[in-house]
């Protein structure tokens, strides 16, 4: 839906909205790529003390008044859409951290705004830039394992280890109103499974709060998804596993694929017992995650100038939100929920987003978590 048809005007700044762990990473990567004209928006309520040698602005309105070329939306999940809507109104291109949102509210409004203004929008599912996951996608597309039958994605990490400097119980990942919970926070598999296997048709989910971490959202979730192709995919998520794991297994009629994120390995085993193993060239384990974020940012700048098109579009991000919302509805109802039948936001909420984005943003930030959003990525 977006069209990359602009040349980069480096006299205009890039605004980074939220400079917690992921926002500060984006600042460092922009500088590494030679883009030094930066503005950071932070409220000072963050739990991470980051020194970026950049004078911050304390309101989004002040940041947007600088007429930024682009806005990197890296604050807590619940603030993504209000921030993106306000930025889109000024004509700024958008890199929006994952997940795009924790509700369906405002998604169609953002789609319409970005389309009308011909904005570049990239959603930050950075695992689409993982070299060996791209190899997995190529193997599937080439038919190396035949017809895909099933897939299992596992992602578990011990939440208190993510950001030792903050109380995990008040982090964005743990507070439902900020978009917390494993389904939204650990949503990479919801995105890359549709990228690998095609769209999700329906979801059956079970969730729980079993970790004794003292948080108010789901800390474990098991999702079974029927893909439009007929394949069945299972996603297992938790906030308790230590050491953490992030892996994928895809089974086909003629073989199977195993992928492991941390060490960057992918193994293809074909029916004739031929085994192909791929690792990241020149990368000593464990795999350096920042290379994914750096490539994502390089790609974003290239999209703005028109030489590339977004690897993860706004439509892709919206699809992942629909899958996550369907999963929550399924867990609540105890039944399969079709993704395209996920409940739309109420008209009152949609109207409030249309009438004014900034007051919603500022009032949401009166809570404990920061605009810096110590996002895990």
Phi-psi region of 67 (alpha: psi -120 to 50; beta: other; left: phi over 0): left
Q: CA triplet 25, 180, 168: central angle to 5 degrees?
A: 70
Phi-psi region of 231 (alpha: psi -120 to 50; beta: other; left: phi over 0): beta
3-state secondary structure of 307: coil
Residues (pLDDT < 70) of the chain are 1-7, 44-51, 281-287, 344-377
Computed over every residue of the chain, the mean pLDDT equals: 88
Any idea what DSSP says for residue 161?
G
> Smallest Cα–Cα separation from 135: which of 122, 145, 121?
145
The kind and range of the H/E element at 296 are helix 290-305
Distance (Å, whole) CA 227 – CA 296:
27
At 377 the pLDDT is: 58
Which pLDDT tens digit goes with each residue over 167-220?
Answer: 999 888 999 988 999 999 999 999 999 999 999 999 999 999 999 999 999 999
| Beta-strand pair 93-97/200-208 | unpaired
- Domains of the chain: residue spans and CATH: 128-292 (3.30.360.10)
Predicted TM-score of the model (pTM) = 0.88
């Amino acid at each position: 839906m977006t069209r990359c048809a602009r040349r980069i005007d480096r006299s205009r700044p890039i605004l980074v909205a939220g400079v917690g762990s992921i926002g500060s990473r984006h600042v460092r990567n922009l500088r590494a790529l030679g883009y030094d004209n930066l503005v950071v928006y932070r409220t000072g309520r963050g739990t991470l003390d980051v020194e970026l040698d950049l004078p911050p602005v304390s309101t989004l309105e002040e940041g947007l008044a600088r007429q930024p070329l682009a806005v990197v939306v890296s604050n807590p999940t619940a603030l993504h859409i209000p921030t993106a809507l306000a930025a889109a109104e000024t004509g700024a291109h958008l890199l929006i951290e994952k997940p795009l949102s924790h509700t369906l509210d405002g998604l169609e409004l953002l789609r319409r705004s970005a389309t009308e203004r011909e904005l570049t929008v990239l959603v930050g599912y950075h695992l689409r830039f993982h070299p060996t996951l791209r190899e997995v996608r190529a193997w599937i597309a080439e038919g190396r394992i035949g017809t895909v039958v099933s897939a299992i994605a596992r992602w578990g990490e011990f939440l208190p280890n993510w950001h030792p400097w903050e109380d995990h119980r008040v982090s964005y990942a743990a507070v439902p109103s900020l978009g917390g919970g494993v389904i939204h926070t650990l949503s990479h598999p919801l995105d890359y499974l549709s990228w690998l296997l095609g769209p999700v048709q329906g979801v059956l989910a079970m969730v729980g709060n079993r970790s004794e971490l003292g948080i108010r959202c789901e800390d474990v979730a098991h999702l079974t998804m029927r893909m439009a192709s007929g394949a069945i995919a299972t996603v297992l998520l938790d906030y308790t596993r230590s050491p953490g794991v992030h892996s994928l297994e895809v089974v086909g009629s003629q073989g199977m694929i195993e992928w492991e994120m941390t060490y960057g390995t992918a193994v293809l085993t074909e029916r004739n017992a031929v085994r192909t193993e791929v690792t990241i060239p020149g990368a000593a384990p464990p795999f350096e995650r920042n290379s994914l974020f750096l490539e994502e940012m390089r790609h974003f700048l290239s999209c703005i100038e028109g030489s590339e098109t977004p690897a993860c579009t706004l439509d892709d991000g919206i699809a992942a939100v629909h899958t996550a919302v369907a999963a929550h509805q399924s867990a609540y109802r105890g039944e399969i929920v079709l993704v395209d039948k996920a409940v739309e936001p109420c008209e009152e909420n949609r109207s409030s987003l249309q009438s004014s984005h900034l007051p919603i943003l500022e009032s949401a930030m009166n809570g404990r978590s920061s605009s810096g959003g110590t996002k895990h990525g």
